[in-house]
A and B are shown apart, each in its own frame.
Chain A
Amino acid sequence: MSSIEPGTTLRHVLPNGMVALIRRNPGAPTVSVRGEIRVGAAMEPVEQGGLAVFTGAALIRGAGERSFQQIVAETEGRGCSVSAGGGVQASGFAGKALSEDLPLILEVLADMLIRPTFPAVEVERLRSQFLSGLRESEQDTGYRASIAAQAMLYPASHPFSQPSGGTLDSVAAITRDDLARFHRRYHPALTSIAVVGDIDPLAVVAELERRFAGWQITDAPEAVYIPDAPPLTGIQRRDIPMPGKVQADLIWGVHGLRRAAPDYYAAMVANMILGQIGMGGRLGEQVREEQGMAYYCYSDIEADLGAGPWMAAAGVSPENVEPAIEAILEEIDLFRQDGPTDEELDDAHAYLTGSLVIGLETSDGIAGSLLGIERHGLGSDYIARYPAIIAAIDHEQVIAAAQKYLSTEVYVLAVAGPV
């Protein structure tokens, strides 16, 4: 056994700059690997929409000496999995295995990240699946409302204005060379990997060194950068008629904030109370529980490297679209004016700190937390500090965040549903 105590995370930086986060979770029969490269769709040209997502998904389609069929036969045959995918602000990869199969998934993941082969036939198969997926998305009310809201919230030049999966036209035009070129942006200095399970951390370090130390990129790393968006003006609304649908999805949205913003925790607590806690916070309480208008109504805040949207969403009958919008706006207005009650604030504090142990129950959950801590530079003592950070968020801070970001006078509204 290594000298690393259970419950402590070993953070190890490889000579090429890749960061490894390793934690022993005693007794777990399985091991989870989660990782990310801070390269994503935010870096792709508008006309090549979907490139980062396509590239991420293509990594498994042939890597090192193995074909796609060999990768899935070998990993699935042992009940393991390896996967990768591109996102807006980062590209992710993951693996899951019984403990004895960890070396296999690290070997395959290293090949996928460092030596993908992008075989032409596989690129075409993947393209066909993406196009089918996009055709299905185009007839999905939630997807249509969401991309319409994003297009109104951000100008066309902003990375958040476009769907990360691209469009039928842009995906049709992406070439194998485009994928290989985008892959060259992957850089060990932009990569983190977390490994959690009943493992010997020092042995895992040695294994990672063996698999990843040869990953050398001469170009300087270029990380995702998300610019601020120009402020919204007035109310913008878009209605998208969709034949054959029986329910409308509606999305209200404003600009949120970056994860690094000083008022992040206040905004997160505000969002929790407005549209998360219990069955969708105040929004769920009003729109679902009180008025019976929707099966779901909630709010969400996307605070990451860039300031994503702060949005509220509901799925309602066509005749309830306007009443639901009115109810959502009323709740937002009320929350901006009065902020949370003492009881709501206490509940949010208790939930956020109390549920920490549930989020950290599984190896997957721990690995995901470690990656987030690394991505945002929160420090190895973050989980220990977290309850105090949350406890310090008071009524004034929550109301200030609500007033700064939420609005019933300047916002976007997208409604996609029955004609």
Chain B
Amino acid sequence: MLLEVKNLKVRVADKEILKGINLTVQPGEVHAIMGPNGSGKSTFARALSGHPGYEITEGEVRYNGKDLLDMDPDERARDGVFMAFQYPVEIPGVNNAYFLKAALNAKRKQQGLDELDAIDFMKVVKEKLEVLHIDDSMLQRSVNEGFSGGEKKRNEIFHMAVLEPALALLDETDSGLDIDALRVVSEGVNAMRSPERSFVVVTHYQRLLNYIVPDYVHVLSEGRIVRSGGKALALELEEKGYAGQAAVGARR
């Protein structure tokens, strides 16, 4: 298996947010994590990415057989874990292309591959830009600086497309997107689906899952997964809402 999360407990600023998450992701699978605000969905994604503000108090996470929690955020990234941020950070003065090239080469170096020069890098990038309908000019701007909400999310998916992770964590990628942008972003994700690549898609709304169709849906409530099912579960949630899910989970 690619990812195995066992009894993961996470604290943020002295408050326990995740109270024992269990999740197994096989290569090629798409898992959707749904739940109301404050249920701990984003905390789950950020904890897996290694954000220093999220303190792991208990549990175990194995990624490709390795202890993920023992790795620094950059090691995780170079080893194929990618997080698309809910709020991509604006970094004035750092050129988007320059940064992405450094990130790609850091990963290639780790894999024992030659670093790409500017010309080869641009070849890689051009193809991805077209798929995501991203204008060249976005490359030459500072990372996320002055980007609209939609541009930021598209840029995240663009980074993902270039870095070709084995495990992609999408943290509320649909928030703030209009329907056209949502479609473009989803097409970008779908174009990357493959038997070797897995996705954990964190979302509040079912509508994203119309475009990125998951293999499994998990409902998070108060820091626990209270229900798991196939893609039909997302539709049920759309209809009935999150209310009562904790109780349903408790009965199971």
Q: Do A and B assemble together?
A: no
Give chain B's interface residues, CB within 8 Å of chain A.
none
